[in-house]
Amino acid sequence: MARHAQVHVSTASRALSDDAAGVSTETVQRVRELAAMLGYRRDVGAAGLRTGSSRLIGVLVPRLTDIVLATIYESIDVAAGAAGYSTVVANTLDDTDHRRSHLDAMLSRRIDGVIIGDSRIGDTAAYELQKLGVPYVLVMRKLEGHLSVTTDDFLGGRLAAEHLLGLGHRRVGVIAGDVLASTGIERTQGFRQAYEAAGYPIDDRYVVSSGFDTRGGLAAGVQLLNLAEPPTAIFAVNDFIALGAMGAVRDAGKRLREDVALVGYNDIDIAATLPVPLTSVRSALGDMGRLSVEALLLRMKGEAADPVLLPPVLVPRATTVGVVG
């Protein structure tokens, strides 16, 4: 390549790299046009061995079929690409063995950093990366002592509670999600503490753990509605759980809002377009992904980054207040 372009080998290498500093625009264009004509493709792996950087960011998520995680990952990929990095994503299914094997595979590819979207209490991935000196950031979920970019989930739970309290609901249920994930824990805590502060503590029978999916929401919703005194309102800690709870309300022969009010969390796009639009607490999912990349890039440079708590916003719709607007 250098011989054909009549430049030094190091000049050709810089002209073909993401950072062509020190090479004139004319030379960069000539070298790259010649590379295209000759069918040359830069060996990123070999370049990584030379520079010590793979230009790869690993991303661990529970499952990409979850639109929340898919939305966050999309913004991660865009932000990483803008910074000159590619991403490698793995579905861990919230399973320790899956996470271990996928993380090992990423590390074998000499990734430059990791964004963890599946952290749970008791997991060791973040600690292992810390020990190895591999930069990492947690996104959406958090663990004490580790850098994270999340929504203020405690506040989000409180917003849901204040909304239902304002509508007069005193006997409420919570579908709390995974008891080992900060999202389920903090959203539930914020909700329960607001009710307790208002003088209506929630009995443990009215708080049911579940998976973060529609199947879990359906089963938990059935359990709540089968109580001797079923709740007049349910807070589901994500929108997929809420969708499952809608099925439980239907199967019980009850009507949304009139018989059982329902609040979800994250405000995914479908929430506004359901036959009965869902009241939900909105998370800034795109911002979470983008900011997690920015934090990781700082850590990869050896610089400090601060944790981020994005403000949630409650969006009222027909499952609690009827037609809005």
DSSP 256: B
Overall size of the chain counted in residues: 325
Whether the per-residue pLDDT at 171 is higher than 90: the answer is: yes
Annotate 265-298 with b (16+ C-beta within 10 A) or e (fewer): bbbbeebeebebbbbbbbbbbeebbbbbbebbbb
Q: What strand order describes the sheet that includes 86-91?
A: 86-91, 56-61, 113-116, 136-139, 148-151, 308-310
User: What would you measure as the largest C-alpha separation in the chain, in angstroms?
Assistant: 85
C-beta separation of 190 from 197 below 8 A: no
Q: What is the structure's pLDDT at 18?
A: 63
Cα–Cα distance measured from residue 49 to residue 275, given in angstroms and rounded to the nearest whole number: 55
CA end-to-end span of the chain: 64
Whether the per-residue pLDDT at 280 is higher than 80: the answer is: yes
Q: Which residues contact 219 (CB under 8 A, 6 or more apart)?
A: 210, 244
Taking Cα atoms as reference points, which of 171, 168, 208 lies closest to residue 188?
A: 208
Q: What is the structure's pLDDT at 174?
A: 98
Cα–Cα distance measured from residue 210 to residue 223, given in angstroms and rounded to the nearest whole number: 11
In the structure, what pLDDT confidence band is assigned to residue 37 with cuts at 50, 70 and 90?
A: confident
Cα torsion at 263, 264, 267, 271 (round to 10°)?
Answer: -80
Cα–Cα distance measured from residue 119 to residue 12, given in angstroms and rounded to the nearest whole number: 43
Write the CA distances from 47 to 37, 110, 122, integer angstroms: 21, 12, 37
Write out pLDDT tens, residues 223-258: 999 999 999 999 999 999 999 999 999 999 999 999
- Extract the tokens encoding 177: 């999600």
Whether the per-residue pLDDT at 53 is higher than 70: the answer is: no
Question: What are the residues facing 235 on neighbouring strands?
Answer: 174, 263
Q: What is the structure's pLDDT at 7?
A: 80
Count Cβ atoms below 10 Å from residue 29 Cβ, excluding itself. 11
Class of residue 128 by CB neighbours under 10 A (exposed 0-12, middle 13-18, buried 19+)? middle
Mean pLDDT, residues 71-87:
96
Mean pLDDT, residues 45-57:
64
Q: Which of 3-12, 107-116, 186-195, 294-303 has the lowest mean pLDDT?
A: 3-12
